[in-house]
Amino acid sequence: MQVAAWAVIVNNGDKFKYTHGGKTVWYTITDASRGYVKVGRTVTDGSLQTSNAGATTSDVSGDVTIPSTMTWNGVNFAVKEIGEFSFGRASGTSSLTNVYMPSTVTKISGYAFQNCTSLASISLPGSVTSIGERAFYGCSILYFVFADMTSPCTFGTNAFYGIGSSCYLRVPSGKKSDYINKGWTTSIFKGGVLDGTVGDTFKYTYEGKAM
C-alpha cells in the first residue's frame, strides 16, 4: 500500500515565529514561491503586533542575530527584508543594543529601527539596495555605521535623523567618493566618512572619555 505524501502549503502573508540565538522574532512570508520572508514586529510578550499605529512596546532586547535562512513547516526561507517597525517604535526607548543582519537582506523598511535608543552600531550587508524613511531615526547613541555595499544604496527622508552626534560611517575601501555623491555625507555622519583603508584613525567618546 502506497501512502501519499502531503505537501505543506504556505502562502504570502503567513506569519510565524522563529528562535535563533535565544531570541524569538516573528517573520511574515512575502514571496512563498521563492521562499522569502521579512522580519515582523515582535512585542514584549512574544506575540506579533500587526498594526504599526502607536507602536511603543517593542521588544526584542540586547543583541539580536537574524539568521540568513530558517525552516518552518518543512519549508526553507531566506530573510530578504527588515519590515516596518520591526524593532523600532513610534515613541519611547528601546533596549535593543545590536542587530546582525545576514547578507540575504536587500531592504530595510521605513521606521525599522526608529527610536532604538540603545543601538550603538549597525552593519549594513553588501546586499542592501534600499533604506526607508526614518529607518534609524532617533537612534541617539548610534556611533558606528558599517556599510558593506560596493554600490551605495538610496535612503529615505530622515533615515538617519537624530543619530549620534559624532557617528562614523565606514564604507568599503575606495568607495568614499561614491558614497558622498549619493548623499552619505558628513552632514549626517558628523564623526566622518572612512573608506575602510587600514590605518584610518578616529576619536570615539564613550561615557565622557575620548579614545
Q: Using alpha carbons, select from 183, 78, 55, 180 the residue that is nearest to residue 125.
A: 78
The pLDDT assigned to 49 comes to: 53
- For 76, counting Cβ atoms within 10 Å of its Cβ (0-12 exposed, 13-18 middle, 19+ buried), the class is exposed
Q: Using alpha carbons, select from 60, 123, 113 the residue that is nearest to residue 89.
A: 113
CA angle (101 as vertex; 170, 66 as ends), nearest 5: 160
- For 117, counting Cβ atoms within 10 Å of its Cβ (0-12 exposed, 13-18 middle, 19+ buried), the class is middle
Give backbone dihedrals phi and psi of 168, rounded to 5 degrees, phi first. Answer: -100, 145
Q: Tell me how far CA of residue 14 lies from CA of 40, 54, 75, in angstroms.
A: 11, 23, 12
Contact criterion met (CB below 8 Å) for 182 and 205:
no
The pLDDT assigned to 3 comes to: 41
Count of beta carbons in the 10 Å neighbourhood of residue 79:
24
Spatial distance between the Cα atoms of 55 and 90, rounded to a whole number of angstroms: 5
The pLDDT assigned to 198 comes to: 46
**Which stretches of the chain drop beneath a pLDDT of 50?**
1-6, 45-46, 51-57, 198-199, 205-211
